[in-house]
Amino acid sequence: MSLQSSIEWTDATWNPVRGCTKISPGCKHCYAETFAERFRGVKGHPYEQGFDLRLVPEKLCEPLRWRAPKMIFVNSMSDLFHDSIPEDYIVAVAGVMAAANWHTYQVLTKRSARLRSLLNSRLAFAAKERHIWWGVSVEDQRYGLPRIVDLRAADAAVRFLSVEPLLEDLGRINLSGVHWVIVGGESGPGARPMKKEWVVSVRDQCRTSGVPFFFKQWGGVRKAAAGRRLDRRTYDEFPSRVRNPVPGPADCMALALQIESPFKDLGLISISRRDLARPATAAF
């Protein structure tokens, strides 16, 4: 777990999985890939294998060992619902989130069909917890809007949308059953532009529907200069958070050992990039 995050809408990141493959236009300038590939081949570095997908069982129980309550972005360097991640492992990640309930978790995916299917079955125990927020990325109409349909069909207590990088006007969005919306523009070299009217449209629909709205950034090549003010103010709204007591260290350790034990002997599990490559995703 990284104890601090520079992402505006979270406090910390936790990566029990590393690596991913591209699935839609929002992935084009994936910051996680850029970061991870920088360290490919660097002996002993956590990203020695670049952005290849792999499970990291030794990270599985980190939130149980971190006792100060935090807002945690789960798998900032991967996608928990990637097809290649075994279902038992996803259930174990959800088990840690359910057990370490003094934190608030933000789980964000582009694989919304698997999210829907698992939240309505093996992850139902975690789906109804108010300290776990389940979200989908929405970058455009073609790929993003169908993910909202999946999210709304998932029987979750808290649902959110990460509308970033916003690549076009989304038109009318059905926000019923949605509890939070984040909007942001792409940043870094080659950043695709975001028009103000696209942002205003989402903000105004959130206002009409009573949904908390968080404006992360305008983005662009010089993100800091562009800032994050919209109509002369910032938008930093969140859903309300649950405050649960923190158990004693011995109880936390016992829970961690119980959850970890089936995965202890797995070590680091790698799935090679070549095995994951699919022609359908190559364009992204």
Interface residue list for ligand SF4 (CB under 6 A): 20, 22-23, 26-27, 30, 32-33, 78-79, 110
Nearest distance in Å: CB 145, ligand SF4:
17
Cα radius of gyration rounded to whole Å, the chain: 18
**Residue in the structure block whose two tokens are 């990325």:** 137
Nearest distance in Å: CB 174, ligand SF4:
23
Nearer to ligand SF4, 27 or 61 (CB): 27
Nearer to ligand SF4, 191 or 211 (CB): 191
Nearer to ligand SF4, 84 or 141 (CB): 84
- DSSP strand E in 111-201: where? 132-137, 159-163, 180-184
Residues near 52 by beta carbon (within 8 Å), at least 6 away in sequence: 19, 270, 271, 272, 273, 276
Nearest distance in Å: CB 102, ligand SF4:
27
Do β-strands 71-74 and 104-109 pair in parallel, antiparallel, or remain unpaired? parallel
Nearer to ligand SF4, 15 or 201 (CB): 15
Burial of 209 (0-12, 13-18, 19+ CB in 10 A): middle
Q: Which amino acid is at 196?
A: K
Nearest distance in Å: CB 27, ligand SF4:
3
